[in-house]
Amino acid sequence: MKKMILIFTLIFSVSIFSINFGGGGYILNYIPKDQVKQINPLKDYLSFDELILQGGGGFGIIPGGSYFGGEGYSGETTNGNYKLYVSQGYFTFGKQINLNIINIDVGIGLGGGETIVSKKVDESRNGKSIDDIVNNIDSVPYVVQLKREEVSISPRAKIYLNLMEFLSVVIEGKFTYNYSPENWKIEGEYQITDNVPNYNYYYSFGAGIIWGF
């Protein structure tokens, strides 16, 4: 999933890069700690701090100020031997209002991603060879994963501060709703038996640098 998001983002950003036609760039997305709780399936047992997703994307302007594009993000946060990892990819579309030095953008993202909670187990084990994996698996340290694939919808609003004709600073706020048809699975394979909701939602904030336009 990480490779797919990265390849999609790079191809889209490069293909539409053109002044007065579109743009692309790098964006950080911040999910506050109280919103990370919405994502965390282990919230009754342990918590994670705030989560920062890194990524970016690109978009192309069409007549009338509407646009379409793509974006991708990923990031992780840890608590002891536990790690929470989130990746997302979206097709985006919306409307931009050009006010010279400032652009206002209202849009929506449609896509999906995955959330993974992993735990390192028995780090004291010292079997780290291929032979150990084949012939002495009980000596090998390992990681257990709880994984969920999701489809997502993400309305958002952005403000672009145009520093130059080809360079802007962007700030954004967005709401994300995730739905998982198959919910959480151990190692992405074995369905959990807990009665856990197969959806979540949260808000986040972002900022970054966009070039092109």
- For the chain, which residues make up each domain, given as ranges? 2-212
Mean of all residue pLDDT scores within the chain: 87
Q: Is the dihedral of CA 33, 35, 36, 41 positive or negative?
A: positive
Q: How confident is the model at residue 113 (pLDDT cuts 50, 70, 90)?
A: very high
Query: Is the pLDDT assigned to residue 115 strictly greater than 60?
Result: yes
Alpha helices in the chain (DSSP H): 2-16, 33-39, 130-135
Digit-coded pLDDT (tens) for 131-188: 877 888 777 777 899 999 999 999 999 999 988 878 899 999 999 999 999 999 998 8
Four-way CATH pick for 2-212: 3.50.50.60, 2.40.160.20, 3.20.20.70, 3.40.50.300 = 2.40.160.20
pTM for this structure? 0.84
The reported pLDDT for the residue numbered 19 is 44
In whole angstroms, how far apart are CA 161 and each of 98, 135, 170? 11, 60, 6
Query: Is the pLDDT assigned to residue 199 strictly greater than 90?
Result: yes
Per DSSP (E only), the strands in 34-81 are 51-61, 66-79
User: Which DSSP string do the residues of 150-175 spell out, in sequence order?
Assistant: EEEEEEEEEEEEEEETTEEEEEEEEE
99-110: average pLDDT: 92
Contact call for residues 60 and 22 (beta carbons, < 8 A): yes
The reported pLDDT for the residue numbered 18 is 43
Q: How confident is the model at residue 20 (pLDDT cuts 50, 70, 90)?
A: low
Cα gap 144→137, rounded to integer Å: 15
